[in-house]
A and B are shown apart, each in its own frame.
Chain A
């Protein structure tokens, strides 16, 4: 059982939790993740670690309500407990002094990008950050990223904040404007990572992507998180989650993410329905 210390709404349907998890807090490095089980009948879901405080023994988890489990988690308040948290899992980000590093984050992927950008900055890189969101109130951690970036660009799909357009538009203007980039890292929705990867490949910029495939144990046992990288089968939980973005078979990965779409939608709808019934019942009382 892990106790929630604080809860903070970062944007629409996005919550930041600071959770008691001393072993994770003292051992995690940027790029790693945990597996969380919210209740005793819950599924195991991977969540990236957004930050940690080793002295306090706490980690930050940022959750967007998209399915049943994340909606259930978002209902938790400070003082509540999360049934299981295990980690840190996966290999840490390879951080070194590359020179100029482009950090690209989209949507909820901005959460794990923050510790990586911070690590890159601490390794004396020139950090250029590009953040993308569908709309302004879905943008998270802009101020945090700004403190660890030398340059920061925000794009929104609808133009409600920053530049209107996609992160790829911003990257293209940067490169066409003469900005030199030695290394890129991209974390976000799979389609955004795919198109960012295609673009940086075109520009010849080495790029790492952090993948978020379906996972159960997260410890190198079940094989559910397999992805094809450079024509070889790799397992994101132990070989990743970061891989050479230019070698990832994105279409196969994106397709596999949809394996349980129907079941997930049904579960989320059922959960919302049950919540409404219990709310109605509470009001009727």
Chain B
């Protein structure tokens, strides 16, 4: 097939659960590609020599190579190519913002003048990962001979899992300490089941366990074990303790009953399965839920509210549709499901009744001014333009700070003004020798793939450090 023919092929539409039906369940929304669909989509790839997609991938997956493997029907080879650089393809294929990364500079999208026409790299990645899991085709890779070195990984989120996977293959002993009773970090407590089935996360963890990674749950480093104890018992430490305390707006009424941080709302629903009536963890079932914010977490919260039985779910965002940071696909899914979007509205106050329950919000209408330091146009209040809206649940989804526990337990770490651990950008090493950090504990609230990218860099540097000390010891 020549390039001109390939360019004429339309993007394959991935089938999805009907919106009217899916708001009543927590099952995954997109069904995935059939092999025929995957091959058809793979045929759209031009196999460019300059590979702009690989440039756009934070972990440098050899994208054209795995797509070619799909086209030739060799799925085992395809997943093998991805797994050389990406440990969690089933996760990344679902939650990565591909339109801002690999798919952004795809030649096919550029040729059509529309990033929406790019080769659907993420969906193809997901296809291979699902194929591997469903067919129990995971190949146990060659593990290097034991180096006798021990690495402690703090947190089992995307950064920690990447470090663990990379280092176990290189022959180091790896222990992952997880504070919660379940693995996955934000993949488990934050991202909803309908977007990332937990079974997928557990399968990835089971795979690492087969490779020899030791997972210890219910263990909070800095509390259950001191950081010094961990440093004494391990040759290197990676801190991937993730996101922490949620931001609030600091407006009146945030202590009213029915005001949740998105972290709490989603943790109750996801980690604790509050959507299931057999779960012991309660969650408030509002009729009208207002979500404040415009990121993926806001989309997740509004869509979770519908699945918990809300008649009305609103996303209230102070800028316009164009500036909204949520992925297009999440936005589209939310709109399909009936989530209302109220743009250019800034909450001034959460209103409550005398018993202390939320009744609504006072909103300030905004307009866009000059660009601010983020490059987005700054929202400015329009004097005198305020309104009220009714809501019985308010979910604040305006981001969070890095988790405060490890920084508090290790005062010699240096923190940036957002509470993130300061590291070397290339090695992810902190000023404390042998202590590395990556993911949301460094970045604040970022993405799964950026966390994995930092995990990969840290794993490289940890390996180099451990091999160096091995050489010194044997000399």
Contacts and interface: CB of A to CB of B under 8 A. Distances in A.
B281 A27 contact: no
A221 B261 CA distance: 10
Interface stretch (A151-159, A178-186, A223-231): A223-231
A221 B217 CA distance: 16
B264 A216 contact: yes
Interface stretch (B7-15, B109-117, B244-252): B244-252
B356 interface: yes
Given A43-B272, A238-B245, A256-B257, A224 B264 contact: yes
A264 B264 CA distance: 18
B223 A220 contact: no
B219 interface: yes
A89 interface: yes
B356 A255 contact: yes
Interface string A37-61: 1010111100000000000000000
Nearest to A85: B218
A156 to B, nearest CB: 31
A69 interface: yes
Contacts of B278: 41
Interface in A64-82: 68-69
Interface stretch (B143-151, B374-382, B402-410): B402-410
Contacts of A88: 223-224
B224 A27 contact: yes
Given A27-B225, A220-B404, A84 B263 contact: no
B414 interface: no
A222 interface: yes
Contacts of B244: 220-221
B180 interface: yes
Nearest to A219: B179
A233 B259 CA distance: 14
A87 B264 contact: no
Contacts of B405: 219-220, 238
A259 interface: yes
A201 to B, nearest CB: 21
Question: What size tier do the contact residues of chain B reach?
Answer: 35 or more
A24 interface: yes
Contact of B220 (A86, A224, A256): A86
B284 interface: yes
B224 A259 contact: no
A223 B245 contact: yes
Given A23-B225, A87-B220, A259-B284, A222 B264 contact: yes
Contacts of B280: 39, 41-43, 68-69, 267
Contacts of B356: 252, 255
A258 interface: yes
For A44, A219, A267, the residue with the greatest tally of chain B CB atoms inside 10 Å of its CB is A219
A228 B179 CA distance: 26
B267 A27 contact: no
Interface string A205-219: 000000000001101
B263 A222 contact: yes
Interface in B235-260: 242-246, 248, 250, 254-255, 257-258, 260
B245 A235 contact: yes
B470 interface: no
A86 B284 contact: no
Contacts of A222: 246, 261, 263-264, 267
Contacts of A228: 255
B72 to A, nearest CB: 44
Nearest to B262: A223
A256 B226 contact: no
A258 B189 CA distance: 24
A173 B324 CA distance: 62
Contact of B273 (A41, A83, A255): A41
A263 interface: yes
Contacts of A255: 255, 257, 356
Nearest to B266: A222
A229 to B, nearest CB: 12
B133 to A, nearest CB: 23
Contacts of B271: 216
A217 B267 contact: yes
A219 B244 CA distance: 8
A66 to B, nearest CB: 14
A84 B271 CA distance: 14
B325 interface: no
Contacts of A260: 282, 284
B181 interface: yes
Interface string B386-418: 000000000000001001110010000000000
B17 interface: no
Contacts of B260: 224
Contacts of A44: 181, 272, 281
B219 A23 contact: yes
A216 B267 contact: yes
A84 B181 CA distance: 7
Contacts of A43: 272, 279-282
A37 B279 CA distance: 12
A223 B257 contact: no
A42 to B, nearest CB: 5
Contacts of A41: 273, 278-280
B268 interface: yes
Nearest to A1: B218
B220 A89 contact: yes
A216 B272 contact: yes
B254 to A, nearest CB: 8
B156 to A, nearest CB: 13
Contacts of B403: 219-221
A85 B220 CA distance: 11
For B219, B255, B271, B273, the residue with the greatest tally of chain A CB atoms inside 10 Å of its CB is B255
Contacts of B220: 86-87, 89, 219
A89 B222 CA distance: 9
Interface in B153-200: 179-181, 189
A259 B282 CA distance: 10
Given A27-B226, A223-B261, 9 more contacts: A43-B272, A86-B218, A89-B223, A216-B267, A219-B179, A221-B267, A222-B267, A255-B257, A259-B258
18 contacts: A23-B224, A27-B226, A37-B181, A43-B280, A84-B217, A88-B224, A216-B267, A216-B268, A216-B271, A217-B180, A217-B189, A221-B242, A223-B263, A233-B250, A238-B404, A256-B257, A264-B282, A267-B280
5 closest A-B pairs by beta carbon, nearest first, are A223-B261, A86-B218, A263-B282, A223-B246, A43-B280
Interface of A: 23-24, 27, 37, 39, 41-44, 68-69, 83-89, 216-217, 219-224, 226, 228, 233, 235, 238, 249, 252, 255-256, 258-260, 263-264, 267
